[in-house]
């Protein structure tokens, strides 16, 4: 009998703890600091290996493209992987699609307002109204010779 009563007390205490956690979640959701909207408008389009486009747009205070990409990644619907090198951030994968240059000459290129980007993502400044594209491209052997 006493064991049953103890079990009941434990279950009740667990319930109270769960309710307290729920109450704190509500307090947090109602009162957490609102993210402030940035001041620079942007669009970022991801073009995958099939040519399918996915566009993101909004306002940001990001200084560099990589900061904007970090913001988008934190928001959840965008992801990327990259490695830092002496030449800056080298983008290896976007939205789970990995470009392996050693395997098939694939790489992620950056376009800024339709022009091929001159900088890495961590050195590309973000300006108001800029349109960025991350495009999956494959280097074709002999392409340079033909040009």
Beta carbon of residue 21, minimum distance to another protein (angstroms, whole number): 6
Residue with smaller CB distance to another protein, 12 or 113: 12
Among the listed residues 17, 46, 23, 35, the one whose alpha carbon sits nearest the alpha carbon of residue 109 = 46
- For another protein, the closer of residues 15 and 138 by Cβ is 15
Provide the edge-to-edge strand list for the sheet that holds 88-94.
80-85, 88-94, 97-98
Cα dihedral 54→51→49→44 (10° resolution): -30
Interface characters, 10-49, with another protein (x: CB under 8 A) = x--xx--x--xx--xx-xx--xxx----------------
Q: Applying CB under 8 A, does 8 fall inside the site for another protein?
A: no
Minimum distance, C-beta of residue 8 to another protein, in the bound complex (Å) = 12
Question: Could you tell me which of 111, 64, 122, 116 has the C-alpha nearest to residue 88?
Answer: 122
In the chain, which ranges are continuous DSSP H helix? 2-31, 65-75, 101-104, 143-146
What x-and-dash track marks residues 87-126 binding another protein by CB under 8 A?
----------------------------------------
| R_g over Cα of the chain | 24
Binding site for another protein (CB under 8 A): 6, 10, 13-14, 17, 20-21, 24-25, 27-28, 31-33
């Amino acid at each position: 009998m006493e064991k049953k009563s103890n079990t009941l007390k434990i279950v009740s205490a667990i319930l109270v703890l769960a309710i307290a956690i729920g109450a704190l979640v509500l307090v947090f959701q109602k009162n957490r600091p609102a993210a402030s909207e940035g001041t620079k408008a942007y669009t970022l389009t991801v073009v995958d290996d099939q040519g399918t486009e996915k566009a993101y747009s909004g306002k940001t205070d990001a200084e560099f493209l990589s900061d904007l990409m970090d913001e988008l990644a934190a928001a959840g619907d965008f992801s990327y992987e990259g490695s830092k090198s002496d030449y800056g951030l080298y983008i290896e994968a976007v939205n789970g699609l990995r470009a392996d240059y050693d395997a098939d000459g694939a790489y992620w290129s950056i376009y800024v307002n339709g022009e091929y980007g001159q900088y890495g993502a961590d050195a590309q400044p973000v300006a108001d109204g800029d349109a960025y594209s991350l495009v999956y491209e494959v280097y074709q052997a002999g392409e340079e010779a033909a040009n």
